Amino acid sequence: MATHANVSLPLPVLPEGWSGEKDFKAIGSISAATQRTIEPVGPHFLAHARRARHKRTFSEDDRIQAQENAKKVEDDDSGEISEPEDPSMLLRDAKDWKQQDHYAVLGLSKYRYKATEDQIKRAHRKKVLKHHPDKRAAAGGTEDDSFFKCIQKATEVLLDPIKRRQFDSVDERADVEPPSKKAAKDGKYYKLWSAVFKAEGRFSKVQPVPKFGDEKSTKEEVDAFYNFFYNFDSWRSFEYQDEDVPDDNENRDQKRHMERKNNNARKKKKTEDSARLRKLVDDAMAGDARIKQFRQEANASKNKKKLDKEQAERDAKEAKEKEKAKAEQDKKDAEEKAKAERESTKKSKEQAKAAVKKNRRVMKGSVKDANYFVDGEAPASAINAVLADVELIQGKIDADETAELADKLRDLKLAADIKKVWTAEAKRLVDGSKIKQSDIQALA
Amino acid sequence: MSAEEAPAQGATPGERVAIGISFGNSNSSIAVTSFDDKAEVIANEDGDRQIPTIISYVDGEEYNGQQAKQQLIRNYKNTVAYFRDYLGQDFKSIDPTHSHASAHPQEHDSTVAFTIQDKEEGEPSTVTVSEIATRHLRRLKQSASDYTGKQVNSAVITIPTNFSEKQKAALTKAATHAGLEVLQLIHEPVAALLAYDARPESKVADKNVVVADLGGTRSDVAVIASRGGIYTILATAHDYEYAGVHLDKVLQDHFAKDFIKWHGTDPREDQRSMAKLKLESEATKKALSIGTNANFSVESLAEGADYASTINRLRYETIARKVLDGFNRLIEGVVKKAGLDVLEIDEVILSGGTSHTPKIAKNFAAIFPESTNILAPSTTPTAINPSELQARGAALQASLIQEYESEDIDQSTHPAVTTVKHLTNAVGVLSITGDESKDCVPARRTIHINVPKEGGDVLVKIVEGGSHIKVTKEEPAKTNGNKDDDSDEDSDDEPEERREKIWKVGKVLAEASVKDTKKGGKVEVMINVAGDLAVTVTAREVGAKGGVRGTLSAP
């Protein structure tokens, strides 16, 4: 916001007698504003949004932005290449560059394979400024430029992606040793092994590499991790450790022999490396409490299923037996009940029969008591007629009516009363057209 | 393509590969920003930068862009075109006119769908407009991914200013299904303005801009106030009567009549002839924007008869006058709607495919005063291709915001941030303006003003001002005596009106004095208007210490 408009018209001269408090005089305030929506687009809007959201004023925002920008520059400079130089390293001979630790030479040993190209360039510059032979000579030292050559060689290797990869492949200083069983015991298992696999993951062609995790990792995470490392696709190669191939044209056979030898050595080392990694993963897995836990959980859940099934079967069987027993009991009960019922009906039938017999006797007795409704000695024909009528009536009425009639007759002594009952009964039956009037001989 | 891509959501800012998409009814375009923050419109695999928004299916195979456009002749039933405006609308509120010559829109579950044969075999399927948009966006995404070599996963998409929330939601949904995270939906005119303002040679200035987005099926005009790089839309107009297809129609009718004269049949009555006529008319129109003469030739236009003809630009402009005049009225209307005068417009940006037509830009130049900058290819040589403006603006915005978390973007575009007070009047030092009116607050402006030659004490007077249009009538020049000259017939006309914009001094807000200024020095006055309209004025001599500072309380 440093832009400003330039106006060439001159300002008026201060009129005489103008005065204001601190040279300023407030006269009015500006008119009311209207609400509008601005378009959320463009760099200036972003600045506006930043100010609005953080409630900054223009000058505050300018200051904070400036600070942030300034800080970035500082960040770029700090945080590296301040490692102390090992005096023995300074005495190195550039000829055995294969043995030298290029990262240490440039002061990047804490970054190693993680060092960016930019970091390497700046580290190189810094070292050159310090160790250039001219600088040494100026400081009164020897004109020994061997360490300078080391620096140049290190930069050459590290700035060439192919060479750097070859060096990183054999850079064992970046490896993390697998923890011993004892060290891994006191709850540090995950932390220590994490570091090992983090370092190992740098060789993977597939990035990012899954993390080892900790005791809270899920089964999926753990499985993914072990699957990844069992199918590890490594870019690691061992050209860097090749023996020097003679560069003269003199001995072609010798050269080819060396090349073959180197190739075989590379292959062998690669196989060894794969085996090493496999063993590493095996070791980690063997001691991994999570695997055991997952297995137990899986077993538990499997067993649970089995037990559940058995329980269900048992329950079903029990229920079936119960049902069967109940059915049998029901059948038995029903049979008993039927038997009792049969017996009771038989008894009551017999009783009813006996009652009917008795009542009939009462009836016959009643006509006999009434002397067959004749005065004096009853002639055989009268007796027959009356008894025939009685039997006729008896045959037409059921047990209840018999009992009723017998009750009426039982206490009667007078022949007229008895006859009246009998004639009434006969009349009832005739009215009910159970018997015919003509069939009645004496009791009409 | 058949594999359903997982909807892209919440890619972390570092993994975003963002593009700008201009998704139009007739054409779409895609733009990316290159490493030096320059936006560039990229071509699809057919080499087109303007990709027709058309999708077509032949034997189960999907075609889009120019290839699909060719299918409008033979295979119009399985070709979907002009579907952008159907997104998020119900069947009742759409205007299906433009789809007459392609697959017809139908009502389908409160949305719009098309019945097309998009598989090799079986029954034609009903595809919703949302799904069509998804397929189209997926093709655009694929083209951009092929060009950049990286999988594109997010985009800024331009939309007309009158898109409803429902339409925005529908577009966002369609894009998400196509595997694109929508970083932001920005308005088309603002995108066009941003594309111009992002050029390295442009300076941040306070200006009023008219953006005329003249497209294939609709024309949208917006008046935008640009204050310190912040844009406020003052007025908009949308028109469906004057657009590119209407210019095409003029040519169609012209050539159809000519054809009837020769062959006696009307090519407009047959579907296939009409489609051929339409395509060739559009091509002729484009050719006329570049050259003064254009050929029109169609093989077997109707009943097996070939047809070839030429037309020159003048004739075209004459027959198209009715439509061209429509554009003028549209733009005049919207300036009036914004409460401004043509004199107050500093810039006119022509955007959209139809803006290539030279006559339109010339007409606009006649409406606005000479000081107004008409940014169109025919009037300004440095103008950006109008068809590419929106996609470029979208790509620029994408590059600006792609490193922010989507939550941050949402919060920043929240109405609480975007709705602010705007000054009704300009505030400035006496007779010299500082802040413009319609500036959104908080605002800050700095001005440097010369002091009188001899230096000394000076007075700084802060006033409110308003511009107004002064109309003076000039008497025809009679005094020079050569009245009989054959020179001008104009002098017979009524007195010419001269209109100019002048500043009127309004309320005085404050006075301050800067003492003992040096000879030839400058005074810097900084006016700072806070969000609650409190004004802080700081006046000091450039290069000197101290200075005067005062505050006006909020009204």
B505: contact with A, CB 8 A cutoff: no
Spatial separation of the C-alpha atoms in residues B383 and B351, rounded to whole Å = 10
Residue B448 CB contacts under 8 Å (≥ 6 apart), including other chains: A4, A5, A6, A7, B522, B523, B524, B542
> Do B446 and A41 count as a contact with CB atoms less than 8 A apart?
no
Query: Taking CA atoms, what residue in B is nearest to A44?
Result: B229
Q: What percent of chain A has pLDDT over 70?
A: 88
Element (H, E) at A386: helix A380-396
Which of A15, A36, A53 faces B412 most closely, judged by CB atoms?
A53
- CB contact at 8 A, B128 and B170: no
Whether the per-residue pLDDT at B12 is higher than 70: the answer is: no
Q: State the CATH class of domain B426-470+501-552.
A: mainly beta
- Cβ burial of B141 (10 Å; 0-12, 13-18, 19+) is buried
Region B234-258: mean pLDDT is 91
Q: Which CATH number fits domain B13-187: 1.20.120.1200, 2.60.40.1730, 3.30.497.10, 3.30.420.40?
A: 3.30.420.40
Range among A264-268, B107-111, B368-372, B445-449 rated most confident? A264-268
- For position B247, what pLDDT does the model report? 93
In chain A, helix, strand, coil percent, each to 5?
65, 5, 30
Phi/psi for B422 (5° steps) reads -120, 135
Q: Which residues of B touch A27 (CB under 8 A)?
A: 508-511
The CA distance from B25 to the nearest CA of chain A, in Å, is: 23
Q: Mean pLDDT throughout B181-201?
A: 89
Q: Is B7 exposed, middle or buried (0-12, 13-18, 19+ CB in 10 A)?
A: middle
Give the confidence band of A74 by pLDDT, cuts at 50, 70, 90: low
Token pair listed for A286: 């063997």
A410 pLDDT exceeds 80?
no
Q: Decide if pLDDT at B206 tops 70.
A: yes
- pLDDT tens digits, A333-355: 999 999 999 999 999 999 988 88
CA atoms of A60 and A66, how far apart (whole Å): 10
Higher pLDDT, B432 or A157: A157
What are the CA-CA distances from residue A79 to residues A107, A349, B142 (Å)? 12, 121, 42
Pairing of strands B125-128, B51-52: unpaired
Asked if B229 contacts A45 with a C-beta cutoff of 8 angstroms, the reply is: yes
- Specify the residue for token string 């297809």: B245
Instruction: Answer with the residue of higher pLDDT: A342 or B517.
Output: A342
Residues 6+ apart with CB under 8 A from A17: none
Q: Is A62 left (phi over 0), alpha (psi -120 to 50) or beta?
A: alpha
B426-470+501-552 matches B202-242+323-386 in CATH topology: no
Closest approach of B544 to chain A, Cα-based (Å)? 16
Interface contact flag, B420 A35, Cβ < 8 Å: yes
Q: What is the mean pLDDT of residues B216-220?
A: 89
Provide the total of helices (H) and of strands (E) in chain A, helices listed first: 15, 3
What is the rounded average pLDDT for all residues in chain B?
82
Q: What share of chain B is helix, strand, coil (3-state, %, to 5)?
A: 35, 35, 30
Tell me if B510 and A25 make a contact (CB, 8 A cut-off).
Answer: yes
Give the C-alpha distances (Å, rounded to integers) separating B263 from A411, B249, B305: 140, 20, 8
**Does A39 sit within 8 Å of B514, measured CB to CB?**
no
Angstrom distance (rounded) from CA A353 to CA A359:
10
- The fourth-level CATH superfamily of domain B202-242+323-386 is ATPase, nucleotide binding domain (3.30.420.40)
Residue B428's pLDDT is: 60
**Least confident interval from A154-163, A179-188, A194-203, B198-207:** A179-188
**Which residue in A405, A403, A413, A334 sits closest to A369, CA to CA?**
A413
The winner for highest mean pLDDT among A321-330, B70-79, B370-379 is: A321-330
Q: What is the pLDDT of residue B23?
A: 92
The domain B244-321 belongs to what CATH superfamily? ATPase, substrate binding domain, subdomain 4 (3.90.640.10)
B438: confidence class by pLDDT, cuts 50, 70, 90: low
Helix or strand or coil: residue A201? helix
Q: Identify the structural domains of chain A with CATH numbers, from first to last.
A: 87-174 (1.10.287), 189-245+252-287 (no CATH), 352-439 (1.10.8.840)
Asked if the Cβ–Cβ distance from B424 to A32 is below 8 Å, we say: yes
Residues of A with Cβ-Cβ distance to B232 under 8 angstroms: 36-39
- Taking the domains of chain B in order of start, what are their residue ranges? 13-187, 202-242+323-386, 244-321, 426-470+501-552
Q: How sure is the predictor about B359, in pLDDT bands with cuts at 50, 70 and 90? A: very high
pLDDT of residue B93: 81
Average pLDDT over residues A252-257: 85
Q: How far is B210 from chain A (nearest CA, A)?
A: 15
Chain B residues 381-400 with CB within 8 Å of chain A: 393, 397, 400
Only one residue has tokens 């039938």, namely: A349
| Beta-carbon contacts of residue A363 (< 8 Å; ≥ 6 apart) | A390, A394, A402, A405, A406, A409
Chain A contact for B162 (CB, 8 A cutoff): no
B424: nearest CB among A8, A22, A31: A31
